[in-house]
A and B are shown apart, each in its own frame.
Chain A
Amino acid sequence: MSFLSVQNIKHSYFTKSTAVAALSDISLEVKEGEFVSFLGPSGCGKTTLLSIISGLIEPTEGRVLLEGQPISLADAKIGYMLQQDYLFPWKTIEENILLGLKLSKRLTEQSKSASLNLLRQIGLIGVETQLPKQLSGGMRQRVALVRTLATEPKLLMLDEPFSALDYQTKLKLEDLISATLKQFNKTAILVTHDISEAISMSDRVLLFSPGPGRLHKVFDIPDVIKNLTPFEARNHELFPEIFQTIWKELESFETFKK
């Protein structure tokens, strides 16, 4: 039995005039502690699939099992990071990071100090009583990571969490998130359209093709690159080769359309 099992997912969006197939028959498995990327052009349904796996959307067909159990929002086993931090602007940093624990009634002295410790570990010191707008974009996304990890989710969803940041901050945050997830042995799924980001961060890259979204190809990242930090991986000699392979596959969608 695998950690996460996605079985024969089909999904359609309905409007008054049409039914649009967003995902067609997607099955995949993720092992515990693995970092997987969903890569693909816009419109390939990768964010829809992420929403289905996290239980936000009910798929038209198929099912998602986490540790053999059907996924449910009520269990709060999932962490989700969005494109932007979405910290609540009227709450202090401390209130923001403790929000998940408070909502699931798991806020104890112990869990509170663990969360505040995590905030310090991630390099944010003395910001507890500040409001989100007093922090920079990179710092806010780090707070969002702490908020996500505070509830100790089994599975982490990263929905293009670096896309709103400047390039330098993005590279630094990639390293930080990668190291943090490895340290806690978290399983994570990253949605991105950035090939380099996918290669440098993941153990496996799942390439999706559009119209309707289907799993096109799976790329296993070699161990030498897996064991490097994302920044080092970008500079490894094997990196351009993998990039080219994935790039060609992506190009093939374009010619297919013509």
Chain B
Amino acid sequence: MKPSKNNADLLHKQYVHSLKREKRKVRLYQLLIFLLFFTSWEFSSKMKAIDPLLFSSPSKIIDLLFSKLHDGTLMENLSVTLIETIVGFILGTLLGTLLAAILWWSPMVSKVLDPYLVILNAMPKVALGPILIVGLGPGYASIISMGVIISIIITTIVVYTAFREVDSNFLKVLRIFGASRFQCFWEAILPASFPTIISTLKVNVGLSWVGVIVGEFLVSSKGLGYMITYGFQVFDFTLVWLALLVIAVFATVMYQIVAFIERKIVKE
């Protein structure tokens, strides 16, 4: 018995080791791509293989990053955009879920509203931008509304579908206990749909960034979207690239935070 047990242990160790090796390999290649991308960017910009005015170069962007960090304008613009995005995507998810709850509550309302939801979902919401800006005034309200409006309808549709797919036998159990429709919603429908709501949160992070950046393109005098349009207007593409990279980093961080929350909740 003993030798074979040792053998199994050994094989298991080898397996764990091979997993580790594979992971290291993946990380190495990822790092290589990263380095290759930025060095070839730097190099081809220096050699004028690509237009240095349009594509700038990593070294110039880093220089600009430090000077913008130093004079505080980057943090100011970043915090404005971050707040707008976070508020936009939380409101979009909450209001979308609320709308989905209303649709679930009244089958009549959901039947009546069905074609309108389809139209609203199909319509490119950013086209509403000018109307929002004139209606709400140029400022936080209209930009946050852009972030909300772009994610709310798709949230409603996805969450409402999840509500309807909850196993009806759970409702049967509750109805036998004399539960009201609200209790059915609160005890079964909503908690059973939490995984879906969290995963729409993931989608909405991306959508809200789009809404907020487009909103800032249109009106604002602050924010990362403003940095992009300003850089474009004065032909300072280093500024545009800086804003783009900052957006990429923070959008990824927000996505990872939501993914982390998802793992916590789904594990339960």
Interface residues of A (CB under 8 A from B): 54, 56, 73-76, 78-80, 82, 84, 86, 88, 90, 99-100, 103-104, 131, 151
Contacts and interface: CB of A to CB of B under 8 A. Distances in A.
Contacts, number: 48
B87 to A, nearest CB: 28
A131 B266 CA distance: 13
B191 A90 contact: yes
A228 to B, nearest CB: 31
A90 to B, nearest CB: 5
A82 B169 CA distance: 8
Given A80-B172, A86-B167, A104 B187 contact: no
Contact of A79 (B176, B179, B183): B176
Nearest to B268: A90
B174 interface: yes
B175 interface: yes
What's the dominant secondary structure at chain B's contact region? helix
Contacts of B191: 88, 90
A82 B172 contact: yes
Contact of B187 (A56, A79, A103): A103
A103 B174 contact: yes
A117 to B, nearest CB: 20
14 contacts: A56-B175, A76-B176, A76-B178, A78-B176, A79-B176, A82-B172, A84-B169, A86-B169, A88-B191, A90-B268, A99-B187, A103-B177, A104-B177, A131-B268
Given A74-B178, A82-B172, A103-B178, 5 more contacts: A54-B176, A80-B173, A100-B177, A131-B268, A151-B177
A86 B171 CA distance: 10
A82 B176 CA distance: 11
